[in-house]
Amino acid sequence: MSETAGPSKPRRILIAALPLLIFGALTGIFLMQLISGKDNSVIPSALIGKPAPMLALAPLEGAVRAGQPVPALDSAAIKGRLTLVNVWASWCVPCRQEHPIILGLAQDPRINVVGINYKDKNDAALAFLGELGNPFRAIGIDPKGTAAIDWGVYGIPESFLVGPDGTILFKQVGPFSDDAVKNKLLPKIEEALRRAKN
Distance (Å, whole) CA 26 – CA 19: 11
The tens digit of pLDDT for each residue in 32-71 reads: 666 755 444 444 557 788 999 999 999 999 999 999 999 9
Distance (Å, whole) CA 101 – CA 96: 10
Q: What is the pLDDT of residue 4?
A: 53
Q: What is the pLDDT of residue 37?
A: 52
Nearest to 188 by CA among 149, 154, 159: 159
The tens digit of pLDDT for each residue in 136-159 reads: 999 999 999 999 999 999 899 999
Mean pLDDT value across the chain: 88
Nearest to 45 by CA among 97, 85, 100: 85
For residue 175, give Cα distances in angstroms to 94, 139, 190: 6, 18, 21
Q: Is the pLDDT of residue 5 over 60?
A: no
Residue 96, judged by CB atoms within 10 A of its CB (0-12, 13-18, 19+), counts as: middle
| pTM (two decimals) | 0.78
